[in-house]
Amino acid sequence: MSNLDLKKIAEEFKANLEDRRVVVCAGTACVANGSLKVIDALQKEIEAAGIKVRVEANHHKCGGEKKDLYLSKSGCHGFCQQGPLVTIMPENILYVKVKPEDAKEIVEKTLKNGEIIDRLLFVEPGTGKHSKNADEITFYKLQQRTTLKRCGHVNPEDVREYIANSGYDGARKAICEMTSEQVCQEVLDSGLRGRGGAGFPTGKKWQLTLPNKSPDGVKYIICNADEGDPGAFMDRSVMEGNPHSVIEGMMIAAKGIQATKGYVYCRAEYPLAVKRVRKAIDDAREIGLLGKNIFGTDFCFDIEVMEGAGAFVCGEETALIHSIEGQRGMPTAKPPFPAVSGLFGKPTTINNVETLACVPLILKYGAQWFKSMGTENSTGTKTFALTGQVANTGLVEVPFGTTLRKIIFDIGGGITDDQGNPLPPSEFKAVQIGGPSGACLTEELLDVPIDFDSVKKYGAIVGSGGLVVMNKSNCMVKIARFFMKFTQSESCGKCVLCREGTAQMLALLDDIIAGKGTMETIDQLEELAKAVSDGSLCALGKTAPNPVLSTLKTFRDEYIAHVRDKKCPAHQCAALSCPEIDPAKCKGCTACARQCPVGAISGTVKNPHKIDETKCIKCGACKRTCKFGAIK
């Protein structure tokens, strides 16, 4: 296929594209909230209104009469809690939390008469301002979307729309106009570092693989899509929303290291991502972008999708390789590194989804353009999955060097309680960065610029990009236990220190939470955490103690309160938490006193009651009984 063919596809797509378009988010979160039913309802109402509508994917492939309106799906917008999302073009109207029963009103008022439905617009927290589109919403305005730019706008199942947006231009340039050495150097000059967690320079990794040969000339490029951090969904959203960007990134990487075969290793828990990536590969292969003699050159490359069983350890590159080979996913010691002997013993490069999605942009706009964003040693942008007790949860893409304060309070809208009600900034307690391999950062670190190097000073890592925000109602010992339980369950068991050490750390945390811990327990926990970190074979074991070590460093007083005072300051550990009655909320109804089995509650009718800690058995009956939320 020649460059002229790509231009022709782009021109045909644009010529046949309807002037009006309704785009419904069909990412995993919106689908779970009923977006497919919204699409069906919109189609029904549009047709009933006499509007000629086109709804099928890849509709330009067969040509046909141009319709009045194109109804299409998109991938994730990133504003997940506001879904299902519906965008109407060219008016650029964004409706949130759309239900199937809203379809008739959207068609009658907006599509036919040009009216905006205020109740379906996003309302800014605090100000009450209705925002017509993403350009007016603070959550989007303060971001700098590059990797996610097309997600939420293009049809992820239409290769022609990707091509119409300059898709595969970077691959064409790399394959037709550059040597492998030049491709590697361009990516190295951009400063791109791996977005999967380690932050190793991508161009350097490619350069290490390029000179290595195998007897049959076979090399592999692997896309690591085994995203497993709790609360992280960056890679999933890219694969669902713009899968061709990943395929193009793999093609460029293959040119850079002279690979002949690629694998996308994706966890089976991502069925929609797997489906869309497979379709994207099939479509790319059908029009000649994958296979033999790509762009009329002697470059041959193809891709296969491999579904993983969901083992967190398979995010480690040697364990991932063994899984593709049909072996048990367990890491092995290095050297040899995959660049020398990887998949099936051949030279192999492994990059994660977000890293590969950055590559076409670098080839298109140049290394200096990419370096103009971010910091000196952490260039470009980074996508974070913002979750927890924060007003605006979802995907956030910002340049490296952006502070946590901007992400959490400006883009994220600030701290909330468990019901989503706003809380003052003083209620912020910590943010877990880097998932189960990361650490908790506190209020005094909110203004630290986030990049690969700065967070290391505080025992944290950027990791894949998970950010879990916590308010002061959280018990940090329980938070540490949550992540330790995860990594202990996901340990492959190969290393004694990881297998047994994480189990013992979990047992010590259980003792502390149950009120059985002592000051010696804390010392043992800290000593064991350091031993597991020093002696484990792979990154899972080496970083598993990070949440424990970071909370011990920053919230040691909470651990001490658990073991010395036998109290949980956050009132989250049942064995240590004596209920308290808020006198401002207590109505003096006496219901709690009547339900208390040990008579620990005293007070008169219509006056605030009190709980005697010496009598309380912490059964929780009073809290369950109170209708006014006065007991915590």
% the chain with pLDDT above 70: 98
- Mean pLDDT on 191-214: 92
- Mean pLDDT on 116-142: 91
Pick the closest to residue 382 from 145, 75, 81 (CA basis): 145
Pick the CATH number of 579-632 from 3.30.160.270, 3.30.70.20, 3.40.50.300, 3.30.70.980: 3.30.70.20
Q: Which class in CATH covers the domain with range 381-474?
A: alpha beta
Interacting residues of 62 by C-beta distance below 8 A, sequence separation 6+ = none
- Mean pLDDT on 134-161: 92
Fold for 10-141, please state it. Glutaredoxin (3.40.30)
* pLDDT tens profile 37-71: 999 999 999 999 999 998 875 544 545 678 889 99
* Residue 403 DSSP label: B
- pLDDT score of 462 more than 90: no
Q: Which class in CATH covers the domain with range 159-371?
A: alpha beta
Pick the closest to residue 291 from 237, 251, 318, 348 (CA basis): 251
Contacts 24+ apart (CB under 8 A), 405-408: 405/446, 405/447, 406/142, 407/450, 407/467, 408/446, 408/467, 408/469
Residue 127: per-residue pLDDT: 81
- Mean per-residue pLDDT of the chain: 91
Helices 519-535 and 496-513: crossing angle in degrees, nearest 10, is 160
Residue 326: per-residue pLDDT: 92
Pick the closest to residue 436 from 309, 308, 539, 562 (CA basis): 539
CA dist., res. 427 & res. 139, Å (int) = 21
User: Tokens 């109207």 label which residue?
Assistant: 93
Residue 314: per-residue pLDDT: 86
Contact present, 210 and 309 (Cβ < 8 Å): no
Interacting residues of 330 by C-beta distance below 8 A, sequence separation 6+ = 313, 319, 322, 492, 494
- Mean pLDDT on 383-410: 94
Residue 619: per-residue pLDDT: 81
Find the length of the chain.
Answer: 632
* pLDDT tens profile 308-355: 988 888 888 999 999 999 999 899 988 999 999 999 999 999 999 999
**pTM for the whole thing?**
0.89
Taking the domains of the chain in order of start, what are their residue ranges? Answer: 10-141, 159-371, 381-474, 477-563, 579-632
CA dist., res. 170 & res. 335, Å (int) = 33
Contact present, 572 and 526 (Cβ < 8 Å): no
Pick the closest to residue 429 from 273, 557, 254, 282 (CA basis): 557
Q: 96: helix, coil or strand?
A: coil
Alpha helices by DSSP H, 123-233: 138-141, 159-164, 169-177, 180-190, 202-209
- Mean pLDDT on 89-112: 95
Pick the CATH number of 477-563 from 3.40.50.10860, 3.40.190.170, 3.40.50.620, 1.20.1440.230: 1.20.1440.230
**List of E strands, 64-213:** 69-74, 86-89, 93-95, 122-123, 130-131
